[in-house]
A and B are shown apart, each in its own frame.
Chain A
């Protein structure tokens, strides 16, 4: 198939979704202007529930990245890699406490634990570990660790919202409940995508900055081999 034919078929695939979408919009518009049918009653969860789901997702994503990174680091830095397992266990077990409705203590532990993990990462990326094979050498920033830190920073931010009671203040405003409920899907979606890509990068050995920068474009080819 030549380039022109190839492009034509790509456009046909896109058109199917566009036409299907147009039909869906037309149906939604008609349904909106017609008398209400047997629509399910309102069941938007409270702001707190939506926030907890997002926090659990962020912690789960960061924990999974640490878990994926642990085996490779055992070969690289020996027992020090136990820190990855500890971080993963902490972040994954914390989900259970979070979903159960976190107390002030659970929130404080979440903030302190994740700030410690972020601090350890920042140390290794600026000063380097004080001992071991890589002692005194600052490691480059790679995609997986950057993704993990991004999730942890968002998690600490969300936990601060909870600790300061901002979610309760927001819950008194009408649209907050809806907006929080809407925000769950993009948050969990981005966590899933970032975690999967980071795990793939780790599995293909592209988990450190310099290597990643030079070989990242080939990552997908490596993964499919």
Chain B
């Protein structure tokens, strides 16, 4: 597996997980949603954020190639750093989320941010080395 396929694989995994979380949240299932017994409690706004960012990740995985894909994975990491900081600063995102973000949600945001930045950075290093 080369660096680009790792970046693609990670973007695909993150995209599938986030889109699934967003869609399941709208169905308000026992897995994701506003129900008290949901695995990950989210509201409409939170579901929209998951769904949209998941679609972006899927576009990065399957719509981009080469350096553009690697740069986009890095950019996705930056996007999630912003989301992580905003939700850490205000767990209800200044009143927009009906359910305050839990510690596990923060871990999910942090994982997507850190892994995207790390995978993108290392894939970029490999791509640059090859270009030289």
Contacts and interface: CB of A to CB of B under 8 A. Distances in A.
A141 to B, nearest CB: 13
Contact of B48 (A29, A178, A181, A197): A197
Contact of B53 (A6, A13, A44, A193): A193
Q: How large is the interface on B (under 10, 10 to 19, 20 to 34, 35 or more residues)?
A: 35 or more
A200 B95 contact: no
Contacts of B127: 39, 42
Nearest to A201: B96
A224 B44 CA distance: 7
A37 to B, nearest CB: 4
A100 interface: no
A21 interface: yes
B60 A24 contact: no
A146 to B, nearest CB: 11
Given A10-B39, A18-B111, A42-B131, A185 B79 contact: yes
Contacts of A1: 37
24 contacts: A14-B108, A16-B17, A17-B107, A21-B111, A24-B6, A24-B115, A24-B119, A25-B122, A30-B1, A31-B1, A36-B2, A37-B2, A38-B2, A39-B66, A181-B67, A181-B68, A185-B76, A188-B56, A189-B75, A196-B48, A200-B44, A216-B95, A220-B45, A221-B43
Interface of A: 1, 6-7, 9-14, 16-18, 20-22, 24-25, 27-32, 36-45, 143, 178, 181-186, 188-190, 192-193, 196-197, 200, 216-221, 223-224
Interface of B: 1-4, 6-7, 9-10, 13-14, 17, 28, 34, 36-37, 39-41, 43-46, 48-49, 52-53, 56, 60, 65-69, 71-72, 74-76, 78-79, 82, 92, 95-99, 102-105, 107-108, 111-112, 114-115, 118-119, 122-127, 129-131
Given A17-B112, A31-B1, A183-B75, 11 more contacts: A6-B39, A21-B114, A24-B10, A32-B129, A37-B2, A186-B78, A193-B52, A197-B45, A216-B95, A220-B45, A220-B46
